[in-house]
Each structure stands twice: as C-alpha cells, then as structure tokens.
Amino acid sequence: MLNVVIFGAPGSGKGTQSKLIIKEFGLEHISTGDVLRTEMKNGTELGKIAKGYIEKGQLVPDELIIGMLAKVLDSIENKNGVIFDGFPRTIKQAEELKKMLNERKTDVKYAINLDVEEDELINRLLERGRLSGRSDDNLETIKNRLEVYHSQTAPVAGFYIKEGKHHTIKGVGTIEEIFERIKKKLCQTS
C-alpha cells in the first residue's frame, strides 16, 4: 500500500497537491481539517468543540483527532493506499498513526514535506481567506497557526527522518511543477 503523509505549514499547498496525487496514484484522501470542517458544519458535538480551537489557530486535542481518525480509517476500503493531509500534526499523532497502521498490517511509506517560506504562506492564506471566507484564514489566526506549526508540527519531520521516510520538496512554483517534483519522488523509490 502506498500510504503518504503530506506535511507542511498552513498554506504550503497540501490540499492542492493531495488532489493531484490521489488522481495519479488512485489513493484515498484523509484531510483532518476537512473532516473537522464537516463536523462543524453539521453542528456535531465534536464540531462544536473543534470550532473553539480552530478559530483561535490552536490544534484540536490529540485524543479527539486520534479517535476521529481511527473511525475514518475503518471506513476506508481502498487498498491502493491513503494520503494523510494535515495529519499527523504532533509527535503523539505520528506515533499513534504508526500504531493504527501497523495494526492494519501497513505503514506510512513517504512523508512529503512541502517547503515554503513564511511571507509566501501568509500571502496565500490571506488570499484564500478572501476567496473562501474560511474563518481561520485571517491575519491574527494565521500568525497563531504558523507559531503552532513551528512549535508542535515541525518536530514531526524528525520522526520521519529517523524512519528514513522524510523528503523535502520545494513548494514554490506552479502547481504542476511542484506536483512533478512529488511524483518523481513517489515513483523513484516505490
């Protein structure tokens, strides 16, 4: 199974590139951000709790995310593999993902880290906020999300470096150029 973690700061293009990877390799997409936004829209208990964290730019607590992910994993029948977008965001989540996948006789094969400099990230997120009205794409929340990314999520790279699965991809250029870089990586060693 080709299980891929797509990793990077908010605004680095994880969602955009995930869509292209899925099409090319026939994978299933799990975006914890999308799942949380659906829960919020449906006004579920989890959605109500998540909203408070998301609008402050904080991470939703690990226990909630891990429980949510286990349910999503169990509902998936795609045997080609899964792309994890926006997860894991903490070392704890990375460890739990490994456990959950091992229990299902599989594991992460690649962690693709989309590297984009901070000014570019802020511009992209502000533009997305203007276009989509996403409530966490405003300057104050963006700054918090970037801080949280550096303190809690960036260390996840170390986890995958140790496992020999981490690949940094330059996340600047056209969408197609970036996708070509990722594709080369995924084809090269698979």
Backbone angles phi, psi at 27, to 5 degrees: -95, 165
The string of DSSP codes covering 108-166 is --EEEEEE--HHHHHHHHHHHHHHH--TT-SHHHHHHHHHHIIIIITTHHHHHHHTT-E
Per CB under 6 A, 59 contacts ligand ADP: yes
Per CB under 6 A, 86 contacts ligand ADP: yes
Nearest to 54 by CA among 120, 152, 142, 157: 142
- DSSP H or E run through 32: helix 32-41
Per CB under 6 A, 60 contacts ligand ADP: yes
Contact pattern from residue 112 through residue 141 relative to ligand ADP, giving x for each residue in contact according to CB under 6 A and a dash for the rest: ------------------------x-----
Per CB under 6 A, 156 contacts ligand ADP: no
Per CB under 6 A, 142 contacts ligand ADP: no
Which positions are catalytic?
A: 14, 89, 128, 134, 145
Question: Which residues bind to ligand ADP, rule: CB under 6 A?
Answer: 10-11, 14, 32-33, 36, 53-54, 57-60, 65, 86-87, 89, 93, 136, 145
